Structure 1
Amino acid sequence: MPQVCIYPKEAAQLTGTSYDAGKRLLQRIRRHLAKPARSYVSIAEFCRYTGLPEAEVCAALRP
């Protein structure tokens, strides 16, 4: 089953930033989408917000 949500560590790796910056990025995405504080952010939502191509993000997240 393919991965659906993105975690702070992965957000940090994809953007080349620290773990804390990845957490802040996911928090900004949740605020932008009016999601609850601890809700998951999907890869599609992450890609729409950051402008990164979804196919490249999914390929980078595969082990």
Structure 2
Amino acid sequence: MSPSDLSARLEDNVKILESARDFRGPFVLEINGIKTIVSRAQFLEFYIDVAIEELWGLKETVEVS
């Protein structure tokens, strides 16, 4: 993975977390085509979990390179 690709993926994660942090609701998650109203805490937890998974994937990619 090139440094610019890594930078772009990290920037995407930052933008996702910033938008989740700044979003004021209503908090709706769509998973497998099913929309569910959730609490702000559940909404933030979901996006934090997504970012964690992505960061672990980036770490593995960097280690292999």
Q: Which bracket does the TM-score occupy, shorter chain normalised?
A: 0.3 to 0.5
TM-score, normalised with respect to structure 2: 0.35
Higher strand share: 2
If asked which structure has higher relative contact order (CA below 8 Å, sep 6+), I would say 2
Structure of larger gyration radius: 2
Taking structure 1 as the reference length, the TM-score comes to: 0.36
